[in-house]
Structure formats: structure tokens, C-alpha cells
Structure 1
Amino acid sequence: MLLILTLVAVGLVILVHWRASAREAAANAAYPPIGELIDIDGVKVHAKVQGSGPDLVLIHGASGNIRDFTFDMVDQLADRYRVILFDRPGLGWTDNLPQHAGAWNATAATPHEQAVLLQKAADRLGVSNPIVLGHSYGGAVALAWGLSRPDDTAALVLVSAVSEPWEGDLGWQYKITGSAFGSGIVIPLVTAFVPQGFVRASVGAIFAPQDTPDGYSDHIGTGLSLRRMSMRANAQQVNTLLPEIKKMVPKYDTLTMPVELIHGTADTIVPLDVHAAIATPQLPDSALTTLPGIGHMPQHVTQPDVIAAIDRAATRAGLR
């Protein structure tokens, strides 16, 4: 009997990983790299460069990739900026940092570690004195970028950005998937069997109370986010973010470059009153734009406001 149960368990494990691998292969084939792959100390970084003008680095949020910005935003910027986009570690087509990789790992690349990796890739691309925009989790990486290179960062633009400590936890999903057990056992099950209807509903919740733009889910490639490597990296990064934010906050007064913050009043994922409203007076040269009734994705639903914030940052930094 024990032998039969063991064989059944092994068979189920094989089935889960076979189906997960098949789904990952389909996502990789449907959404290949759209930029170049740069080797940084053995870590592959996916970068895309478009346009000409002052350098503008765009850093995406949790579970995302550079396709969030290539949906239509980059085309609105490339006539006057050299736009540089990066997939963050473990997401899109950028490798996770080796010390944080693996099925049973519960550690994560910190915002500082992510910023340093992307800065090395930016150096390879000849990026100089950039405006750095970060959305959501990417806002924490943008802040870490500025703290790491204060004299070579022209300005920061923080869009719906995580910038401050928060009360409470992030929910049972992140607790489970961000753990070593969840990484090794639960995530392969999700990759193998999560229905597309659930995925589209999750994207809709990110855009709420606005609607998801037509074609967005297909463009961004949600299957890339559901790969085991990406799910692990994302869960672990989000799960370990709070102590890293607490370390950064006391240093915000050293960020003397212009900072433009833009945040929706209806953002329930990264609430305005917990983050941007508190961060603004902590940053010496900051300006906050609030967007009444707007949720977590203003770079899509009120894109002209975000582009205007970028232009203001460029002007304040003397780049325009």
C-alpha cells in the first residue's frame, strides 16, 4: 500500500511539473524578449531602448515586465526622450539574482540589489544622468536607485509608488507563496492549473475602479508572470519589502534631486495616504500630483498626467 501511495504521489508531482513546464514554454514562445539581453556578472538583464533625447529609465511594478510600458506609453515619449526599459530581476526576461533563486528559497533581491543590477546594465547602454520612473514596487527600486547614485540621477518620478512603511500584512496569498514551502509546493500548482479567467480578474482588480484597457492583458503576457521563477521572485520580493522600506525612509532627506510623485486617490493597492502623501514632505525637492478617483494604474488610465509629470521632472532638472 505504501508503495502504491508513493507511486501516486510521484506521479502527481511529475504531472504538475510537466503541465507547468508546458505552460511556461507556451508563454515564452508567445512573448519572447522584445529588447536585448545583457550579461551582467552572469545575470541576464532584459533591456529595451527607444527614442532619443535625455535618458529616461522606466521600472515596472510587481508581477510585471517592460511590456507594461510598451503597451502604448513609450511611443508617447520616444520623440523627446531616450527611453530605457528594464525587466526587474526574476521577472520578464531578466534572471533572478543567483543568491535568491531556487524552488525552496524564501529570500529576495532587495530594492537596492535590483537598482545596482539595473544600473550596471544602464552603464553598459551608456545611460547618463537619467530621469528614473518607478511604478508601484518599481517606485521603491527608483528610490533605491536615487539613494545609490544621488549625483548621477537627474530626477525621480514616482507613480503609485511604494515608498513608506504600512500597517498589517499583505494577505494569505503572499504569506504562502513567499514562503519556502509555498515556493516549492504551491507555486508549481498555480503555474500548472490556474485558470485564465482568474488571471484576467486579477488584472482587472489592479486597474479598479477603472477598466482594463482593451488588449492590455494579451499585450503584457500574463503567462510570463505565472512562470514558476517569476511567481517565486515576485512573491518573495513583495513579502520582504517592508523592512527594506523602513531602512530607506531615514535617508529620503538626502534625495535632493527633483522628485515628482503622482498618485490616484482611489488606489487601494498602494494607498495615497499611506505612501505619497507621507513621502512628499520627506523629500527635499518634491511635488505631489493627486488624481481624484483614479486607481493604481495612472500610466494607462490617465497617461497624459503621468507624461506631464515626466516633462516637469525634466524641466526642473534642467534637461529641457
Structure 2
Amino acid sequence: MMTVAVVAALAALALITQIGVVAIERAHPAQGERIEVAGASLHVVELGSRDAAGPPVVMIHGASSNLEAMRQPLGEMLAENHRVILIDRPGHGWSPRAREQDSTPAIQGQMIDAALEKMAIKRAIFVVHSWSGALGVRMALDYPSRVAGLVMLAPVAYPWPGGVGWYNKLVSTPVIGPLLAATITLPLGCLLAAPGARGVFLPQTMPENYVGHTATLLLLRPREFLANARDLVTLKEAVRQQAPRYGEIRAPTVVITGDKDKTVSTDIHSRPFSKTVPGAKLIVLEGVGHMVQNAAPALVVSEIDAMIAEIAHKTAATSARRQND
């Protein structure tokens, strides 16, 4: 009798989840175009003018989110003067990936590089947040000709003590993980999404209706929740493997972080990274938490503008020397 009751409860939760997925996807439809690459279909949204001066700005979100987290307000501010490209990472938002195990910065970087090649974008400024800090530096290492500059916001760069939350490990477990994702994740997640987001913003206040404006609930769809968990549980080993190469980075690099970040430690990640990368600039914002792009968007825009201006200056100087030779 107990078994029958459990099966019935799981079936009901699975039905609720499927209905919820339909409702969430209707509320937050894809806004851009899809670019097919090996292993994924990447959802890309473009803002600003394609004729804007300087290299385009490619913005890549962190874990448990999608491109909307980079659009508001930072992407829209940048679009006033730059061509801005927002990308849903493989497995997130409206970018399904073929294999759940394609979770590392190296593999996702390869997919994003291929998409940019299809878009005829040869060089770009990469603005990366949190999890994607590891992705940005991996692209600077593997595709240096693609990365004109690197702006890292509260980035993950090194291994850290501890893990990534018991639920991520549990959801990454075969059989059990997919079962949980298909039944209880969405109903429970709808209750916990706003409190969880508020915690990431601390000590800043979360913007009003942030969860709705950034389509955060897309994360609760089973396929995305599984992909996100896999990204998180494999990240520590991924940064352990790539960290010894950071001294090879030659792209202009700015790291912006907050001294009150409880999600990604500034002392573990941003400080040692900025000391390792030649010429890297570190900005530590007093009293700021993890969501740097929301807490200080004008500062981030200013640093990107300064980087683009410096790149233009060096390019012009190099061209002048060649003409005089």
C-alpha cells in the first residue's frame, strides 16, 4: 500500500512539473536567435548597433541563471555605445546541450568559440560572472586570438575548500538525480527561488521582481537543473587543472569583486588570480556582495570603455609603427 502511495505521489509531482515547465516557458520565451554548434544549440541575444566602434562585448552568465542576468542593467547600459552579445551557456536558458556531461569550461568554451566564428566575430571583450570566470579564462588560454579583453565579475578561478552543496551532488547521481529533477525540484524550487536569490545579493538588496525579470525559474526545468548541477560538481576539478596556466594569459584583464561576497571568496579567487595574470587590474568594492553587475554597473561600464579605448590606442600605435618601418 505504501509503495502504491509513493508511486502515485511521484506521478502527481511529475505531472505538476510538466505543467509547470510549460507555464514557465510560455512566460519566458526565447528572445534571440539559435546558433547550431557541435553538441549544443546556443541561444544568443544581440543588443546595440552592429556598427558600433570597437570590438563587440560578449557577456556570459554564471551558474543557476541565464543571459537575462547579464542583460539587466549592465548589458542594456553597454548597448548604448557598443554591440553587445548575450549568450545562454550550453544547458542553460534556451541553449540545450546534447550531453549533460559537457559541463566543463573547456567544452563550453569550445562551443561558444564556434558560435562566435559562425557570427563572424573575430575578437571580442568577454564579460564573465561567477562560474563563467573559469570559462572566460579558459577561452583566453585556448582561443587567445578571440579574446581581445577579459572583464571578470566576482569570478571563480581556483579550487576552494569544501563542495558545492549536497543537493547538487545528489541531483548529479544517476537515476536518483533525474527522478528528483522530474518530480520535486520545480514545485519546491518555486518556493525557494526568491529567498535563494536574495541571499546571493547580500548585503545588497535584490531588485524588485528580480526572479521574474531574469527568467530565473527556467532553471527549475529538469534538463536545465541537471545540467546546472553537473556544471557545479565538475567545476572544482576543472579549475584545478587549468589554474597552472593562468600566467600564460596575455589579454588585458580586469577583475571586479566585492569584499562581502559570500558566494565566491575574493581572497581565494580574485586576489591570487590578479597577481598571477600579467598586468591584470584588481578592483575590490567595499561593502559589495556577489552581484557586482547589479551593485556597480556604471563602474563596470567605465572599465570596459577604458579597456576598449586602450586597445584602440595600442592598435593605432602598432599600425603607425608598421607604416613608418
- State if a TM-score over 0.5 links the two structures: yes
Matched residues in 2 for 1:273 and 1:316: separation?
A: 28
1:10-29 residue pairs with structure 2 within 5 A? 10-29=7-26
1:269 partnered with 2:269:
no
1:1-320 residue pairs with structure 2 within 5 A? 4=1, 7-41=4-38, 43-52=40-49, 53=52, 54-96=55-97, 98-100=98-100, 107-194=101-188, 196-318=190-312
Indicate the SS of the match to 1:45: strand
Identify the range of structure 1 (17-26 vs 162-171) with the bigger mean alpha-carbon deviation. Answer: 162-171
Q: Give, in angstroms, the shift of residue 5 of structure 1.
A: 5.0
Matched residues in 2 for 1:120 and 1:134: separation?
A: 18
CA pair 42-291 structure 1, distance change in 2 beyond 3 A: closer
Matched residues in 2 for 1:292 and 1:180: separation?
A: 42
Q: Give, in angstroms, the shift of residue 9 of structure 1.
A: 4.0
Q: Give, in angstroms, the shift of residue 144 of structure 1.
A: 1.2
Q: Is the 8 A contact 1:165 1:246 kept in 2?
A: yes
Matched residues in 2 for 1:60 and 1:108: separation?
A: 17
Q: Is the 8 A contact 2:66 2:216 kept in 1?
A: no
Matched residues in 2 for 1:195 and 1:158: separation?
A: 29
Identify the range of structure 1 (286-295 vs 15-24) with the bigger mean alpha-carbon deviation. Answer: 15-24
Moved over 6 A (4+): none
Aligned to 1:103: none
Matched residues in 1 for 2:186 and 2:218: separation?
A: 13
Aligned to 1:104: none
Q: Deviations over 1:263-310 (max 9, x none)?
A: 000001001001000101110120001100100001011111211221
Indicate the SS of the match to 2:283: strand
Q: How many residues align?
A: 310
CA pair 216-192 structure 1, distance change in 2 beyond 3 A: closer
Q: Give, in angstroms, the shift of residue 94 of structure 1.
A: 0.2
AA aligned opposite 2:21: E
TM-score, normalising length: structure 1: 0.92
Matched residues in 2 for 1:174 and 1:202: separation?
A: 14
Matched residues in 1 for 2:186 and 2:116: separation?
A: 35
Q: Deviations over 1:94-116 (max 9, x none)?
A: 012x232xxxxxx3421011111
Matched residues in 1 for 2:17 and 2:250: separation?
A: 46
Q: Give, in angstroms, the shift of residue 73 of structure 1.
A: 1.9
Matched residues in 2 for 1:281 and 1:73: separation?
A: 26
Indicate the SS of the match to 1:23: helix
AA aligned opposite 2:108: Q
AA aligned opposite 2:127: L
Indicate the SS of the match to 2:41: strand
AA aligned opposite 1:281: K
Which consecutive residues of structure 2, in runs of 5 or more, have no partner in the other structure?
Answer: 315-325
CA pair 247-319 structure 1, distance change in 2 beyond 3 A: farther
AA aligned opposite 2:40: V
Q: Is the 8 A contact 2:109 2:138 kept in 1?
A: yes
Indicate the SS of the match to 2:268: coil
Q: Give, in angstroms, the shift of residue 168 of structure 1.
A: 1.6
Matched residues in 1 for 2:16 and 2:72: separation?
A: 29
Matched residues in 1 for 2:231 and 2:313: separation?
A: 33
Q: Give, in angstroms, the shift of residue 132 of structure 1.
A: 0.6
Which consecutive residues of structure 1, in runs of 5 or more, have no partner in the other structure?
Answer: 101-106
Q: Is the 8 A contact 2:13 2:184 kept in 1?
A: no
Aligned alpha-carbon RMSD (Å):
1.8
Matched residues in 2 for 1:250 and 1:161: separation?
A: 17
Matched residues in 2 for 1:215 and 1:308: separation?
A: 27
AA aligned opposite 2:61: H
TM-score, normalising length: structure 2: 0.90
Identify the range of structure 1 (258-267 vs 69-78) with the bigger mean alpha-carbon deviation. Answer: 69-78
